[in-house]
Amino acid sequence: MTILGIDPGTATTGFGVIKIPDDIIGREFDYGIELINYGNISTPKDRLMQDRLLMIHRQLNEVIEKYKPDAIALEMLFFGANSRTAISVGQARGVALLCAAEHRIPLQDYTGLQVKLMVAGGGRADKKQVQEAVRKWLGKNGEKRAQFGKLKGGHLDDAIDAVAIAICHVLKLAAK
C-alpha cells in the first residue's frame, strides 16, 4: 500500500510518499515503512493566488500520477491567531482535496495534535521531536538509514511533516 502524506500551504506544500505491506493491520512493531520520496511544492510569493494554487494542483497531480498512492493523509487546518494564514492554508487544502477527488483516492484528515501524538508520542512534541520520531519509524539500519538520514530541518520541514502525516495514517490503520 502506498500512502501520500500532504502538509498543505500556499507558499510551501510538503509531500511524503511511503509504502507499507498490504497486511499492516494487526502487525507488531516494525511496520516495514519504506520511504519512497519526499519534497516540497513551492510557489513564488509574487504570483497571484490563483496561479499559485494552479501550480500546487499541477505538481500534486504529477506526484499522484507518478506514485499512484492508495490513500492520501492530509493535515487539517489549525486556526491560530493569524486568520490570513489560515485562509491561504485552507485554499491549499482545497487543492489537495480536489486532487484526491479527481483521482478517486481515499483521503483521511489528521490534526497536527493527532500526528504529534501518534508519531512522536506526545501532542506537545516540537519540530525536532517529530523529525526524530519520523527517523525512528522509518528504521535504523543500512540503506534505509542513509536514505532518511538526509531528512534535515530548514527548507524540508514541510516535507518531513508530510512524511509524519503519512506515518500517522499507517499507525491508525495498524491500530484497527
Q: Would you please indicate which residues are annotated as catalytic (active-site) residues?
A: 7, 75, 158
Is residue 6 within 8 A of residue 75, CB to CB? The reply is yes
- Give the three-state DSSP class for 149: coil
Is residue 167 within 8 A of residue 18, CB to CB? The reply is yes
Strand partners for 72? 4, 107
- Give the three-state DSSP class for 129: helix
Spell 51-78 as b/e; 16+ CB within 10 A means b: ebbebbbebbeebbeebebebbbbbebe
- Give the three-state DSSP class for 145: helix
Residue 11: all three cell numbers together: 507558499
Is residue 38 within 8 A of residue 162, CB to CB? The reply is yes
Integer CA distances (angstroms), 86 to 26, 48, 89, in order? 37, 17, 5
